Structure 1
Amino acid sequence: MMIRSAGLVTAIALMFFVVSLKTSAESSAQESGRRPNFLVIIADDLGFSDPGCYGGEIATPNLDALAAGGLRFTQFYNTARCWPTRSALMTGYYPQQIRRDSMPGAPKGFGGRGVRPQWAQTIGQYLQMAGYRTYHSGKWHIDGKPTENGFDRSDEATRGPGFFDTNKRGERDPDFYRTVATAQHAIDCLKEHSEDFAGQPFFHYLAFHAPHFPLHALPEDIQRYEGRYDDGWDQLRNQRYQRQRALGFSVGNLSAMEPDVGPPYAFPDQIELLGPGEVNRPLPWDELTSQQQRFQAMKMAIHAAMVDRMDREIGRVLDQLRAMDSYDNTIVMFLSDNGASAEMMVRGDGHDPGAAPGSAATYLCLGPGFSSAANTPFRRHKTWVHEGGISTPFIVHWPAGLEAQNEFRSAVAHVVDIAPTVLDLAGVQRPDFPGAPPMTGKSLRPLLSKDGDSLHDEIWFCHEANRALRQGDWKIVHSDKGRPFPYRMVEAGDPNESNWALYNLANDRAEQQDLADTYPAKVQAMSERWYQLRDQFLVDSSTEIVNDAKP
């Protein structure tokens, strides 16, 4: 067995590892007895404080019930963006290790949205080989097709650019709404499983597109929130923060608004299409015109409606689990792929300013004002690696296996931990791929019984021009407040490279007090460590396994 950088995996090698994986997984599964089912639910662009159980005013009774009957994590991280988080969730590796996000120095094709190495298998592949039935509903956003990467059934519920999915002629199915369709596919898969595969455990990956832009919602859902946000984002942030404190969250202070920080990418011509009610900065609410206030409040109402509908659809899926007597032995995990988004653009079929807000003919984005409120109490948004971009709600619920109910977990964990946790709880032994890096993620099993020390000595972040490293309670962050599109990676030695901020998250989770000037040696040591890990990930991403021995 040997390793070749950027080599091709031969057919013999692939067969060897598949046989090895199948044998090891089946052996481990046979020893595990009755195995749990899994339902992993991921939202898209959901803010940390959007669910009611995380301080939000949006009606999320199904998520709230899962939290009340299980665990809520308060320091669980994602990768700041949709496709990197999904690849990390599915494989247990940082996306940069497996060519699914960029980093400084990565060769062409080994970053961004590249093809994973053969050793970066998905949870579905491991579980499928161990006798699980595997299902995927909703967004994929990983290289390859789901059915070619470990899933028996898949439906991305996508017919066009929006949630009503109009075609180029403006025609649409009046009964189609993407969030409903995604949940219905999950329900159909579960019904089929109950009828035809009741003797097998299942793994279901339910990936909603909501509440990602465009802001499209059903009229009856919007109606429930009309007028709710007329007092603005400043007041909403304070209300959510006070609610978090009352719930018992240890999240430190509330971050200050950053009125000079707008969307991560500047599309002024597209923003102009949205009309005089649009604003691309989180200015103090009382500085907005009445027209702008009405427009912004309506956008937040649509965002809330999308979250509300997602929760209702999650409820339908949970009802199906109850109907097939699988609810108690199904481990449900819920998270978001990144923080709420400050992005503002017009895509798809464009935007008709005369159409009803939230309807198929519109293309609205939440923007940085209410995105800041959605990410309460943290700073920044999706794409940034400040806490607002990388902190996700994370709920774990398992009646048959969890004694803990309505408990918090403050240990630091990351989306890379989901894959090893699922394999651990399923009793599936991941075989070694000699020479390939071990999974970066760690099993969360120790934290399911009681809160404890963090699973990781350090957590590394990199997305576009943004980078960070967390070691214990210390975190360094490097980013620009605004950057041109396309972005530019900052290399070591660049004059801007010294622009690291340092925060102690134990008492400053909101990243308000930069301690870089007070502890320059710590900044130096942590920034050097960031590059050491980057160098290791460059090696990992270029590693392919070639089997030269005969099977």
Structure 2
Amino acid sequence: MNRTICTLISAVGFLLAAASPLQAKRPNIVFILADDSGYSDVGCYGGEIATPHLDALAENGLRFTQFYNTARCWPTRAALMTGFYAQQVHRDALPKLGGGGRGVRQSWAKLIPEYLKPHGYRSYHSGKWHIDGKVLDAGFDRSYCVNNQGNFFTDKGNLVDDVPLKVPADETGYYTTTATADHAIECLKDHQTHFAEQPFFHYIAFISPHFPLHALPEDIERYRDRYLDGWDAMRAQRFAKQQQLGLLDTTLSALEPEVGPPYAFPEAIKELGAGEIDRPIPWDQLSEEQKRFQATKMAIHAAMVDRMDQEIGRVVDQLRAMGELDKTLLFYASDNGASAEIMIRNGGHDPHADPGSAATYLCLGPGFSSACNTPFRRHKTWVHEGGTSTPLIVHWPDGIADRGELRHTPSHVIDILPTILDVADVKIPDDESTKERPEFPGKSLAAALKDDVTIERDALWWLHDGNRAIRSGDWKLVAAEGQPWELYDLRTDRAESSNLISQMPEQAQALEAQWNALLDQFSELAKKTSDEQSAKKRNAKR
């Protein structure tokens, strides 16, 4: 009798344990990445563009106020997906060592799906790639790879599961932002049908609002005259809203009329006509033709962000219909700040075609880019705050008790991989495959999902196209290419307006030494692995 009772108690205990939250399915993970979207483009970060779906995710989740990227598209994607600084994995250049958009990762620099797959996850990719290697080779089960980044209105050049698409000659009705969401939704539906018992990781990388400024006519129409008051007024309005939201304790940065695009294409400026201007001078100094041209470009940018939000809403609706939204840890961020670039690529620019149509090639430029990056200085490619600051919205009802709150800890895309592994309870085995891999530089943000705590770390580090920076605590040392260091106290000066380097030279020297030490460390790693890769290639030829 006693033995029978003990057996029954043990069985009940086992069943209760099996039903406990600790034994539940690991969370689904969705990471949504925008391209060239500024810090204040989303409504809940100060913008006037209609982004109700992202705003709703923030209202029911968290907003990080000091989250950073790498200031450029491909380094950010490498850092996000590997958990390492792009320079550590050959995906951004180091002095005299190369690396960058054509760099090849080391074998130990695995992507997120490769860590998740042994734990039952299926992984999906929809949108831009811009990482070395094929998508499916990196652990993804399905992919829609948008390689055509010069025309939003055709599927030509894109791939499905690493196979080039065959596009009909009479192709109509295509728009890449919608197609990216369509593929994501298709993957989610298929997952529900065939793999409902497994968790999933979905990386959705929209190209919007990257140039060329291409948008649907009905979306452009909503914003056509919205920006005729100019970038000065837009910056002031966005900053006022940011203050009301309690996002930032800073001043508004000053416009820098002397700072134009990061790369000069003077012939493109001429071809674009008299309405183009490549400096963010005060709005009242522009001609009427320039005002209309610039306001139209901003209207198209806004239309692209608006449409992206609409498509994100469709993805969220699909998660909700599956009963998976509450169980899904969802992130939204941008790969760099808004872009000051002005160029003409791909099919060229027809000045007589409707702005925003496939025959046009327009870029936002430094005036409205400055406004999209409100309240910060500079743009994409620079490592001042305007180039590296991004919204981070995190939504996860099952894992986040707080709703609509802010998180102030400084954090970076290198933190996403350790955060995902932490919340998914994934331990990386210590075996032969991990011996050569250095320690991850990022930190798990899991604690910040629970409370507004500061994640302790030594520093965050940047280098891109000669622009360099380091942040330790609230101190930031930063320099544009070929320019001297500047020192800022970001506790009250995220706008980087008051350079303290002459008042605090010792603080600057300490940060510079720290920046150089990390440069040396990353260079040593890159040189070692480059030498090893070269040796393997030589041996393979023998």
TM-score normalized by the length of structure 2: 0.89
Q: Secondary structure at the match of 1:35?
A: coil
Q: How does 1:81-230 map to 2 (within 5 A)?
A: 81-106=72-97, 108=98, 110-159=99-148, 161-165=150-154, 173-230=171-228
CA distance in 2 between counterparts of 1:79 and 1:431 reads: 29
Contact 1:343 1:367 in 2 (8 A): yes
2:79 paired with 1:79 = no
Q: How does 1:478-517 map to 2 (within 5 A)?
A: 478-480=479-481, 499-517=484-502
Unaligned runs of 5+ in 1: 1-29, 481-489, 491-495, 547-551
TM-score normalized by the length of structure 1: 0.88
Per the alignment, residue 470 of structure 1 pairs with 471
TM-superposition CA deviations, 1:141-194 (whole Å, max 9, x none)? 000011010100001244562111386999773210000000000000000000
Per the alignment, residue 458 of structure 1 pairs with 459
Structure number with higher relative contact order (C-alpha < 8 Å, ≥ 6 residues apart) = 1
Per the alignment, residue 268 of structure 2 pairs with 270
2:232 paired with 1:234 = yes
Contact 1:384 1:390 in 2 (8 A): yes
CA distance in 2 between counterparts of 1:537 and 1:223 reads: 48
CA distance in 1 between counterparts of 2:517 and 2:458 reads: 15
Q: Secondary structure at the match of 1:62?
A: helix
Superposition misfits of 4+ residues, deviation over 6 angstroms = 166-172
TM-superposition CA deviations, 1:506-538 (whole Å, max 9, x none)? 111100011111111221221121111001011
Per the alignment, residue 514 of structure 2 pairs with 529
CA distance in 2 between counterparts of 1:382 and 1:359 reads: 24
Contact 1:50 1:56 in 2 (8 A): yes
2:370 paired with 1:369 = no
CA distance in 2 between counterparts of 1:175 and 1:132 reads: 34
CA distance in 2 between counterparts of 1:461 and 1:160 reads: 26
Distance change in 2, residues 1:189/1:90 (3 Å)? same
Distance change in 2, residues 1:172/1:477 (3 Å)? farther
Q: How does 1:253-268 map to 2 (within 5 A)?
A: 253-268=251-266
Unaligned runs of 5+ in 2: 1-20, 158-166, 534-542
Contact 1:251 1:377 in 2 (8 A): no
CA distance in 1 between counterparts of 2:120 and 2:168 reads: 44
1:323 is displaced (CA, Å) by 1.1
Per the alignment, residue 332 of structure 1 pairs with 330
Q: Secondary structure at the match of 1:392?
A: strand
TM-superposition CA deviations, 1:438-481 (whole Å, max 9, x none)? 1111111000011112342210000011000101111111114x
Q: Secondary structure at the match of 2:129?
A: coil
Say which one has the larger Rg.
2
**Which of 269, 275, 284 pairs up with 1:286?**
284
Per the alignment, residue 70 of structure 1 pairs with 61
Q: Secondary structure at the match of 1:74?
A: strand
CA distance in 2 between counterparts of 1:64 and 1:284 reads: 31
Contact 2:409 2:452 in 1 (8 A): yes
1:431 is displaced (CA, Å) by 2.6
Q: Which shifted more, 111-120 or 58-67?
A: 111-120
Contact 2:129 2:146 in 1 (8 A): no
Distance change in 2, residues 1:172/1:347 (3 Å)? farther
Distance change in 2, residues 1:172/1:418 (3 Å)? farther
Per the alignment, residue 295 of structure 2 pairs with 297
Contact 1:32 1:427 in 2 (8 A): no
Contact 1:461 1:468 in 2 (8 A): yes
CA distance in 1 between counterparts of 2:34 and 2:340 reads: 16
Q: How does 1:396-407 map to 2 (within 5 A)?
A: 396-407=394-405
Q: Which shifted more, 427-436 or 516-525?
A: 427-436
Per the alignment, residue 441 of structure 1 pairs with 442
Percent of aligned positions that are identical: 59
Q: Secondary structure at the match of 1:75?
A: strand
Per the alignment, residue 4 of structure 2 pairs with none
Contact 1:160 1:167 in 2 (8 A): no
